[in-house]
Every structure is written in C-alpha cells, then in structure tokens.
C-alpha cells in the first residue's frame, strides 16, 4: 500500500509528464526522452536540489546518473551515506536543449513542483547543488540577504523556516565542477562532512 507521500509524489510525476505548457515538453517528445522528477527516500532527512537534468538523466529518467552523478555517489560514499537514504531532484524537470542553463521562464514553470516535493518529503536539510538552485532555495526561504558567490558560502549552514518547521539550507558546488576542476574535489569532500549530523 503506497504511503500518502508516495501518492502525492506520483501526482507530481504525472502532472510533469503531461506539462504541455512547457517548451521543454516538446523537446522531450521530439527526442523520445523522459522528465526527471526525482528519486530516493520519500521521508529523507536530506534533499539534494540541482538545476536541471542532463542528457543521461533525460535518457534514463533519473537524476544525477551520468558523470556528475558518479561524483555525487563518491561524495555520499565519503560520509557513508547510502544514496537511497536521501532524496535527489532538480528545479527544472526536463532537459534544456544542448544542456544550456535553464531560463527564468523554465525555472518559474517548474519551481512549483519542487516546492510541493519539499512540502511532501519535509527534509530537515536542503543541500543545493550549484549556483542556480542555491539562489532559488535561499530566496525562497528568506535567505536572500546572505546570497553571495557560491565560492564564498559553499559548505556553510543557514537556518531557515519551512511550512513544517525549522530546516537548514547548505549550498554545495555542483558535482560537475569536479569533472573540469579536479582540485575542487577536496573542497567538496570537506563540505559533505557537514551533512553527517543530519542522518536519520
């Protein structure tokens, strides 16, 4: 018997699957790929939020399953945190063409689905992956005054209030950064240590 959370998340999946109002829907149909809703524990204490799926993700319908996903898996393994104990998603649920950055209209169209996912899963911590999700989540939770370059606040914990209680927002580098700047991996490994205290 699916839990109420699972049922609500399925509703989001179905709505995104039929989101014909999105220009990215037409791209998805043309390329015969999938929307990427999210995956993981529906009662996760930690939710990771990226910006949008890439090519591998759209082909498989899973978040962070390509090269950047392997880096994310390594980072999780470094703190002995199984991937199935967290929830991983993106703001934008369909892949922008040629992996370009999502535009403001796309963020506006898909963000309400993320907002609902947060309220359903009720994580204790939202770890943002990259500058776009950092900006969106920090603005959403009233942390805009602290918003500066990700290079200055990565790995820092910010207290915020969600509809269901107190949460922590932790900006992190996008795992893809390690693919073109290997030296950043040490920072990422250090940043991930802060997540250990939020284990269920």
Query: pLDDT (tens digit, 9 = 90+) per residue, 144-171?
Result: 999 999 999 999 999 999 999 999 999 9
pLDDT at residue 3 in the model: 77
| pLDDT band, residue 1 (cuts 50/70/90) | low
pLDDT above 80 (res 178): yes
* Average pLDDT for the chain: 95
pLDDT above 60 (res 194): yes
Domain locations along the chain:
4-198
4-198, CATH topology level: Uracil-DNA Glycosylase, subunit E (3.40.470)
pLDDT above 70 (res 63): yes
Q: What is the pTM of this model?
A: 0.96
pLDDT above 70 (res 75): yes
| pLDDT band, residue 2 (cuts 50/70/90) | low
Strands laid side by side in the 46-50 sheet: 39-40, 87-90, 46-50, 125-129, 165-172, 158-162
pLDDT above 80 (res 112): yes
pLDDT above 70 (res 19): yes
């Amino acid at each position: 018997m699916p839990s109420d959370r699972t049922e609500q998340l399925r509703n989001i999946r179905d709505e995104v699957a039929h989101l014909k109002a999105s220009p990215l829907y037409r791209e998805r149909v043309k390329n015969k790929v999938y929307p990427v809703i999210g995956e993981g524990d529906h009662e996760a204490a930690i939710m990771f939020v990226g910006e949008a799926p890439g090519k591998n993700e759209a082909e498989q319908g899973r978040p962070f399953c390509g090269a950047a996903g392997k880096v994310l898996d390594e980072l999780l393994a470094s703190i002995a945190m199984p991937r199935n104990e967290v929830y991983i998603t993106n703001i934008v649920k369909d892949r922008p063409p040629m992996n370009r950055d999502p535009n403001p209209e796309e963020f506006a169209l898909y963000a309400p689905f993320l907002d609902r996912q947060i309220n359903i899963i009720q994580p204790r911590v939202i770890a943002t992956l990259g500058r776009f999700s950092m900006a969106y989540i920090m603005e959403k939770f009233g942390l805009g005054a602290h918003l500066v370059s990700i290079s200055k606040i990565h790995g820092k914990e910010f207290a915020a209030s969600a509809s269901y209680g107190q949460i922590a927002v932790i900006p992190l580098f996008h795992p893809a950064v390690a693919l073109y700047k290997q030296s950043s991996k040490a920072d990422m490994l250090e940043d991930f240590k802060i997540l250990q205290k939020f284990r269920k």
